[in-house]
Chain A
Amino acid sequence: MSEVVLLRDVHRVYPGQPPVRALAGVGLRIEAGELVGIVGPSGSGKSTLLNVLGTLDRADTGLVRIDGQDVAGRSDRHLSALRAHRIGFVFQQFFLAPGVTALDNVADGLLYTGASLRERRRRAARTLERVGLTDRNHHRPHELSGGQRQRVAVARALVGRPALLLADEPTGALDSTSGAAVIELLHELRGDGTTIVIITHDHHVAADLPRTVHILDGRIESDERTA
């Protein structure tokens, strides 16, 4: 199996008084098809790690290789292309466009690939089916439950068939039942071969994941595989 994520001795310090050492020598390797939880208390550096994995933030030093592409020194255009084609994001707050149908929200996941609107909608409909929301295509976010909204957001992240799906506290804004359903969906997707990284501070969520990486003070404390 080839690796989707390779981090080696990654450092990230936010300047300030005093400077914040968000990542202090992180090494991480994630193979294709893995489902990995990154767990840690707030301030542990896990959000920074997610941003670095998603190429939204750059490491100060160290090797960051996402889907075979070295991130260091790459232009904004190059990293944007990587995000458009190879990385999908799911956020705690969903970030769905209000007043826009579920179908078009999902289709926007392909907006920056240059695909035509017809093609984007066609693929969005197929992806909504995959997350079990076929009958909600023309609903707007305010007509959907929290769990359904997060499923729409997951569909938007998946529609471009990314090599890596990053989920930042995907259950953080959901009640436990909807949250469990979203996690179950992510488990199912893993069965389809998608590589998924879930950031969470919820140990119940982490406990069910086949691999859990604990992070504290910008360092990896433990890396456990249960399956």
Chain B
Amino acid sequence: MSTATPPASRLRPRDTLRVAFSGLRARPLRAVLSALGIAVGIAAMVAVVGISASSREQVNQQLRELGTNLLTVRPGQEMMGGGDATLPPESIDMVARVGPVTDVSAIGTIQDTAVYRSSAVDANQTNGLSAYAADTDLLATVSGALAAGRWIDAAMAGYPTVVLGATTADRLGVAVTDGSVAIVIGEQPFVVVGILEPVPLAPELDEAALVGWPVASELLGFDGSPTTIYERSPESAVEAVRAVLPATVNPENPEEVTVSKPSDALAAQAAADETLTTLLLALGGVALLVGGIGVANTMVIAVLERRSEIGLRRALGATRAHIRRQFLGESVLLAALGGVGGALLGGAATAVFASSREWPFALPTWILAGAAAATIVIGALAGAYPAGRAARMSPTAALSVV
């Protein structure tokens, strides 16, 4: 008879996986339900990150299209006296003479002039709309687009025609631009020839009624002082131009000039969403934690229910480590099942949300890697205690259950 020491018990890695999986297959409904907890958490986190990445991608795409080289120049507060400062009429030409500047355009507020749908409207119902005189090259400079009709060209600038901002058209209820509709600006009828799309880099235009510079002076008593100058220069020169603009437009009081970069405001708005993203991510983390507790609970019950299986496996030659690995593997598989389901769910939610807003779809790979790592860690943590309990169970006690 052989009396040599028997070779060590051995469970192949592939068999460990098979054994771990067989435990889940035996109770599919329970496996799916407890994986669902993990799936909800992972889906929430993936969707939050995916949606915020898609939103950021959309802003970046918009900035790429609109350009980040637009500067606006406005009069600030007057240091002495207190009234609103103004820009001199010749400041537009002065900005145009700055070396790197490629485009210049301006609008000027027409003082004490309100915009009405018709002369029958109560004069107090201004709708918060403003009338501006606009340069003919304004639209190109601010990357605006027309929703309907046409822009005021040089030929039309001398006639009472008007182009409405997106919000203005909405508030006045004007949708027709074929020349049959006229609105009232400062008691004068102006024919609506065009309606703008919202202008992201110059949101003030959305609530504007824009008329030609000459007709504003002629019919509405416009003094010719620009209120906002829009200027573009090559990207590399933006900072240099920004530095010289105040002194250029108002050499006597450069401190009364405000220069801003509208693309920064857009980017800042996108960054502000980060706070909300972090909060939602934390909520997803809580869901994940609850899911992990669900997995731990399932595993504790599984170990209690399967005492005789544990006893049998010990009788078949399983070491404590084999038993521990089996249940740990089962727990990790369970969590991974939820992780994969959750990642798919979160990805789908991102895709649906992005397409409903016509955003580009963006899902950073780090969140997928993070989700995978999180599920493995959660599965291992959730399974550690039940697996340890299964491993420590004495074989005779495990077998004595009927």
Contacts and interface: CB of A to CB of B under 8 A. Distances in A.
A76 B319 CA distance: 7
B316 interface: yes
Interface of A: 2-4, 32, 51, 54, 56-57, 67-69, 76-78, 80-87, 89, 91, 93, 95, 97-100, 108-109, 111-114, 116-117, 156, 163
B22 interface: yes
Given A56-B396, A76-B320, A114-B11, A86 B6 contact: yes
Contact of A81 (B2, B311, B317): B317
Interface in B1-52: 1-12, 14-15, 18-19, 22, 25-26
B15 A77 contact: no
Contacts of A99: 25-26
Nearest to B6: A85
Interface centre among B7, B15, B320, B402 (most CB of A within 10 A): B15
A78 to B, nearest CB: 8
B3 A68 contact: yes
Interface string B314-330: 11111111100000000
B1 A32 contact: yes
B303 to A, nearest CB: 16
Given A56-B399, A99-B26, A112 B317 contact: yes
A100 B21 CA distance: 13
B314 A80 contact: yes
A56 B320 CA distance: 12
B308 interface: yes
A32 B3 CA distance: 12
Nearest to A54: B315
Interface centre among B2, B18, B315, B396 (most CB of A within 10 A): B315
Given A112-B317, A117-B14, 17 more contacts: A4-B1, A51-B396, A76-B319, A77-B9, A81-B5, A83-B315, A84-B9, A84-B317, A85-B6, A86-B6, A93-B402, A100-B22, A112-B11, A112-B319, A112-B322, A113-B7, A116-B12
A111 B316 contact: yes
B9 A113 contact: yes
Interface in B333-354: none
A112 B3 contact: no
Contacts of B318: 80, 84, 111-112
Contacts of A51: 395-396
A123 to B, nearest CB: 14
B333 to A, nearest CB: 18
Contacts of A4: 1
A89 B399 CA distance: 11
A56 B319 contact: no
Contact of B10 (A2, A98, A114): A114
17 contacts: A32-B1, A51-B396, A67-B1, A69-B6, A78-B5, A82-B317, A83-B316, A85-B6, A87-B315, A91-B312, A95-B311, A111-B318, A112-B317, A114-B7, A114-B9, A117-B14, A117-B15
Given A56-B399, A57-B396, A163 B317 contact: no
Given A76-B320, A98-B26, A114-B10, A69 B3 contact: yes
Given A68-B3, A93-B402, A98-B26, A77 B8 contact: yes
B8 to A, nearest CB: 5
Contact of B314 (A2, A56, A114): A56
B274 interface: no
B178 interface: no
Contacts of B309: 95, 97
A185 B1 CA distance: 23
Given A2-B1, A93-B402, A77 B10 contact: no
A4 B2 CA distance: 9
Interface centre among B14, B19, B22 (most CB of A within 10 A): B22
Nearest to A90: B315
A220 to B, nearest CB: 21
Given A32-B1, A113-B9, A80 B317 contact: yes
B1 A84 contact: no
Given A56-B399, A112-B9, A114-B10, A89 B319 contact: no
B7 A85 contact: yes
B260 to A, nearest CB: 71
A69 B3 CA distance: 7
Nearest to B1: A2
A69 B9 CA distance: 15
Contacts of A2: 1, 3
Interface centre among A2, A89, A113 (most CB of B within 10 A): A113
Interface in B249-273: none
